[in-house]
Amino acid sequence: MRLLLLLLVATTISYAQDLPTSRRSSYYTFVYKVTNAEAEALYKNRQPTQAFCHSLFTLYPSDSARFQDKLPVGHYLEVKTIEGKLHYELVSINNTNLTLLSNQRDFIFTISDQSGNRINNAQVKIRNQPIAFNNKDNAYVDQKSNKRGLLSVTVNGHTAYFQIERQRNNTLFVRSGKRILGTFPINHIASVIVYPVRTVKNLVKGYGVSAPGIYYKAKQWIEPKYEKDWKGYIVFNKPIFKPGDTLRIKAFFTNKRGKPISKTLDLRLYAYGHNPVNVKLGHINPYRTGGFVHEVVLTDSLNLSLDTNPTISFEHRNKIVESKSFRYEQYELKANQFLARSENNRKEKGGILYLKGTDSNDMPLYDVQAEVLVMPKHVNTIYQTQVFVPDTLWFHKIKLDVVGETKIVLPDSIFPKADLTYKAVVAFLNADNERQTKELILQYNFNKPPVRFEIKNDSIWVTAGALTDSAELTALGWDDEEIFTKQIQLPYHEKINPFIKEYEAGMSTSWEFLEMAEYDKLEVLSTRTKDSISITISNPRKIPVHYQIFKNRNQIDRGSTDESATIFTGKSQTRELFTISIQYVWAGVSKNENYTVDFNDRQLNISIAHAPLVYPGQTSEFTVNVSDVNGNPVNDADVTALAYTKKFKQGGVAQVPTYPRKQNGRLFFNAFSKGEFETLNVTKLDWLLWHKTLGLDSISFYQFLYPANGQYEFSKPNTDSITQIAPFLIENGLVLMPHVIYIDNTPVFHLSANTIQPYSFRIDSGNHRVQIRVRNYAISFSVEVKKNHKQIISLDLNHLPTNVLKTELTKEDLAREANTLSKYFITVERSEKQALAYIMQNNNYFLFNPSPGRGYPQPEIVGPLHPQLTQFFSADTTALTFNFEPFYSYRFLPGLIRQRSITAPILKSQNYRLNFSPSFDDRVLTKSEIEKRWSDFSAIKNPRFARYPIEHFINKPAGALSLALIPSSKPKTHLATFLINLDSPDQYSIYPASNLEFAQLGAAHYEVVLLMNDGQYLRSGSFFLKPFGQTLIKFNFDSLQIQDTFSEKLYNTLKKWDAKTTYIEQQRRIEMNEVRTSYYQRNQSYPYHGTLVRGRVYSSEDGMPLPGVNVIVKGTIYGTVTDTNGEYYLTVPAGGTLVFSFIGLKTEEINTNNRNEVDVELTADVTQLSEVVVVGFAAQRKMSLSGSVTVQSNLLQGRLAGIQVSGNLAITNIFICGEYQRLIVATHP
């Protein structure tokens, strides 16, 4: 019944549609159920046809993101249209999951249901060959497999399909061939044939050409080596040295086969860096075969720099045998040891510190004082709009307990309402004034987590946090698909499912997350003696583990376990190599790990016998016994023994070389992976077959694509009152791009034109003859056009109406057409500065593409034009008027047009097919439309402007400021930050959006404004920046304020800055002042109770009134500007202070003292009148400036109070407050 209703809706739906806004896809996506065999055929050949669409199951709106109802297990074929194409999608809802377990040898995998439960009775085939379940492996196994292709898994009547890919084609024949051809010298003999074939294949695939293998072999023999291929080790008598110490060196070297060398070696000392050292210490002869000793006193004559790592190098014939570095510094050994550790399990509580002090004998220290300094390191989240985090959260002194560790609990009250990372710096001070410092990093969260996760053995536990009774638990798989969601009662526990990647628990918006990836705790342990081996798996999580054990190249055992167990014990011989490969699933990911268990029969064992306790000053003997793997004593062994105090914390053991025998390990056959099925082929829409079923008849766009009777027309009134037409040709549901369009035998469109060509053409109302040339056909028809309407027409090229004429053109016809049309076109060469430009002729606009990727510096084809007056417009220059002349190339310069004749035809004959997606919203270009496009193009998209002013206003004491934007579903792009000191209004700055951290700001009242790229903005409101800490403010996009005169002024100022790489300092100050003035004019009325203060601002020089002076209530965001008579009025709070400021004048602060009238005189600020020119964002005074500078003489006119400007570029006369000044400006030579 439900399906019948859906079909009824789908077949009867009809909307009143407008073609420009019409949908371009079917209303509904039809879902057909297909059989297992049909799904297999579709997965294999990807060729869907209507034959598969026999069992309609459901349908859903094509605009919906997913099914309205969850589909049951099965295979489904979705069908919908997008424009003129029929789109199919095969959707399989499977009841099984496939997990591949790669061991580089077998094709091994498991089958499980959607909850992760294993299935061992599935019917599995790959390329129609069955794969059986192996009980010992607890998996499906095909040993030494080389299979690939479509794998089918049938459970409960449903067959799931998976695409299996292999790493290489590695058949027995291929393996045997590689083994034979890979040996020397057969591989180099065969390369005569193999190399050319491989090179040709690489060239065909587009890869590079590599040299043959014999080249690298010969290169290895011929090229000298930088190092000798000997083995050995070097040890020093201690890890750190200081000036005057004796460096004792012991070394032992053998060749690569283990035979000690007896050659004389060179010993050199190297040091790198600012003070390089290269000193030859002498020739060293072995004291015995392979053994070398030497001593060197680290005197000043060696020129070693402190706090460096010099290198001792043994060399033979200028080749390095072995080298080792040592630390060189003026160290001081400390007898005492101080320890600090933390416990921070519950991050919503203050951390717990444990402190301890011991001497060199691990005995407790007495009378030790500790100082604990807690400081913030990084603030992650704040829970108020504004939060202050002091530089010092807590300081505490304590005397350490003599016995055990001293426990210190950090109080919760020291932390702000924020999540932050902090550090505890602990300074220890003992009775001998020895001071040591330790640093611990901890985390604090203001809010208590909703629940707590804990993993115990093979179970996951969820215990109470902020939630105490119940919570919602969700499990996600490796692909973030939900496995389950359920309500749980706290506390709760369940067995770990290895297919779960993440657990989420909580309620509403408060959630706690547990990533499972790092908690598998799976280990493989082995024990090996000369005649036995034992392998154990430690598996506390009880993960199903599959394993294979190899002896040399042969597999000797395999199996599976989900417990901690010994999986193998047996006898072994010393030269046998064992390899263990394990596979398991954890956190939804299949893992493979390989371990080798070898036995070095050349290993030497050392034992030391000595007295169990030695007192200071006592002499004790140490007996060193050296034996082989069989326990037999080894004669003539070289023994190196050294000892140093444990006060050296940097000590280490030298790595002694080993000499293992060559052993044959396991062979790697192949690796397998799950591939992705390719999408089904998109086919041409069969209109007659599908238009009724998919309900396409009622969609305007499809009426346009498949016009009834061969022609479709749509007409709509134009908002711009311009009559226009847009004719289209359709072929098999595809829109053809015309090569030429004529209206009344006059060309209006040509595909070769490089300008922006909206597909809509100006036309007078009435009857017209339209001709469209596409490929080698000319289609002509008459049309009646309504006044002030846009008329859209589509013609079916294969079913043209009788009143439409179709003419086939020859190559000669096309060539003549190209020659004839060339007289309507010109080529234009633009410079990069003319990115925004257009040509206008008789209300027809030809807009150049502003993108550098098209057009300049290459000539651009413009037209069609006619012999009449034509104008070229550029955004940065004045218009240029000229008479159009065909067969010329034009280049437009400021005030100049250059023409160059063209002999060859501008247009070429075009006869190819090109489809396009039509835009029905195209409109004839107008001047207003061009200006709008230019405005959008010139918007600040990638800001380049720098912070201004460059200097930073720092008042003592100072604090830091940090800003943060709360993520939003409809975020805006932050463009710039405006910061103003309300207590000192002359201190205000503009920063790029990247500046959200301000390290040093004077303690004062501020306001921050964040400007967005659309002119809207966010305000912080007035706030006091406290010193000795960090003030954090977060902004919410829900509080956006619409664009006003202030934000418009700020945006336009930044837009002007962004377009230039140089600026004049005085001009920039004026622009900044205008921004500040606009900021205060926005808040002219003090909203609280106060006194209305009036007054006038005068010049102290001549008593003339000063217009445009900023009058600000100190410490607030309120202010005003003096009018043309220098007068102002402003409501001021009781006892308020007014700040008077302007560029070039000294700022004055006057307390109103509850007066109703306050007049003030401002004097000139001489320090601001020096001429500064900024080039490339680097300020230079005129006396040090080289090169030419252009300065406009009218920059100051009307900008500064009491200033008049006159003169030319060379000498400018400036009258400042009635006094005559002459400004000499450098000009271009």
In which region does residue 588 sit, left (phi positive, over 0), alpha (psi from -120 to 50) or beta (all else)?
left
**529 half-sphere exposure, CB direction, 13 A CA radius:** 8
pLDDT score recorded for residue 932: 84
pLDDT mean over 638-653: 82
- Report d(CA 145, CA 140) in Å as an integer: 12
Q: Give the C-alpha separation, 242 to 235, whole Å.
A: 17
Identify the CA nearest to 748 among candidates 836, 838, 846.
Answer: 846
Q: The whole model's pTM is what?
A: 0.74
Q: Are strands 860-862 and 1091-1099 parallel, antiparallel or unpaired?
A: unpaired
The residues, any chain, with a CB within 8 Å of residue 1069's CB and separated by 6 or more, are 1143, 1168
**Residue 1102 pLDDT:** 84
Domain 523-597 has CATH 3.90.190.20: no
Question: Under 8 Å CB-to-CB from 632, ≥6 apart: which residues?
Answer: none
Which element (helix H / strand E) includes 234?
strand 231-236
Return the pLDDT at 1185: 38
Mean pLDDT of 508-515: 90
Distance of CA 1119 to the CA centre of its chain: 44
> What pLDDT score does 1189 carry?
41
How does pLDDT run across 604-622, given as a tens digit for each residue? 899 999 888 888 778 888 8
Cis before residue 857, ω within 30 degrees of 0? yes
Q: Over range 1132-1136, report the average pLDDT.
A: 83
Q: Would you place residue 1222 in the very low, low, confident or very high pLDDT band (cuts 50, 70, 90)?
A: very low
**254 has a pLDDT exceeding 70:** yes
Distance of CA 357 to the CA centre of its chain: 47
227-246: average pLDDT = 91
Residues ≥6 apart with Cβ < 8 Å to 1? none
Phi, psi of 35 (to 5 degrees): -80, 170
> For the segment 313-356, what is each residue's pLDDT rounded down to a tens digit?
999 988 999 999 999 999 888 878 899 999 877 788 889 999 99
What's residue 220's pLDDT? Answer: 63
- Whether pLDDT at 828 is above 80: yes
Give residue 665's pLDDT band: very low, low, confident or very high (50, 70, 90): confident
Condensed to tens digits (0 to 9), the pLDDT of residues 1178-1208 reads 333 333 333 334 344 444 443 344 443 434 3
pLDDT of residue 195: 77
- Where residue 301 falls among pLDDT bands split at 50, 70, 90? very high
Residue type, 528: R
Q: Tokens 């057009």 belong to which residue?
A: 855
d(CA 1009, CA 990): 10
DSSP, res 697: G
CATH numeric code, 958-1059: 2.60.40
Which range among 54-63, 407-416, 732-741, 932-941 shows the weakest confidence by mean pLDDT? Answer: 932-941
Q: Are strands 1145-1151 and 1137-1142 parallel, antiparallel or unpaired?
A: antiparallel
CA quadruple 152, 154, 160, 162: dihedral positive or negative?
Answer: negative
- Per-residue pLDDT tens digits for 438-491: 999 999 999 989 999 999 999 999 999 988 899 999 999 988 888 899 999 999
Residue 161 has a pLDDT of 97
Burial string for 69-100 (b: 16+ CB within 10 Å, else e) reads eeeeebbbbbbbbebbebbbebebebbbbbbb
How confident is the model over 584-598, as pLDDT tens digits?
A: 999 999 999 999 999
Under 8 Å between Cβ of 100 and 545:
no
SS3 breakdown of the chain: % helix, strand, coil, rounded to 5?
Answer: 15, 45, 45
For residue 1025, give the nearest of 388, 591, 464 by alpha carbon.
Answer: 388
Answer whether residue 179 shows pLDDT above 80. no
Report whether 251 contacts 289 (CB < 8 A): no
Please report where in the chains the tokens 């496009």 appear, as a residue.
933
- What is the CATH code of the structural domain delimited by 1079-1224? 2.60.40.1120
Cα separation, 1026 vs 389, whole angstroms: 9
pLDDT recorded at residue 67:
59
pLDDT digits (tens, 9 = 90+) for 71-116: 899 999 999 999 999 999 999 999 999 999 999 999 999 999 988 8
3-state secondary structure 423-441: EEEEEEECCCCCEEEEEEE
1141-1165 pLDDT, tens digit each: 887 888 889 988 888 889 999 988 7
Q: What percent of the chain has pLDDT over 70?
A: 89
- Contact call for residues 978 and 1011 (beta carbons, < 8 A): yes
Average pLDDT over the chain, rounded to an integer:
86
Q: How far apart are the first and last CA of the chain?
A: 91
The pLDDT tens digits of the residues spanning 983-1026 come to: 888 889 999 998 999 988 999 999 999 999 888 999 998 999 99
Angle made by CA atoms 1153, 1157, 1158, in degrees to the nearest 5: 70
Three-state secondary structure call for residue 783: strand
Beta bridge partners of 717: 789
User: Which CATH fold topology does 337-444 show?
Assistant: Immunoglobulin-like (2.60.40)
Does the pLDDT value for residue 535 go beyond 90? yes
- Return the pLDDT at 1181: 36
Is the pLDDT assigned to residue 13 strictly greater than 60? no
Residue 256's pLDDT band, with cuts at 50, 70 and 90, is: confident
Q: Which token pair is 501?
A: 């990647």
Does pLDDT of 637 surpass 60? yes
- Condensed to tens digits (0 to 9), the pLDDT of residues 1060-1082 reads 777 888 888 889 888 988 888 77
Q: Counting beta carbons within 10 angstroms of the beta carbon of residue 64, is it exposed (0 to 12), middle (13 to 18) or buried (19 or more)? A: exposed
> What is the model's pLDDT at position 1069?
87
What pLDDT was estimated at residue 223? 58
CATH of 231-328, one of 2.60.40.1930, 3.40.50.300, 1.20.1530.20, 1.20.210.10: 2.60.40.1930
Residue 422 has what pLDDT?
Answer: 95
Task: Give the pLDDT confidence score for residue 652 in this predicted structure.
Answer: 73
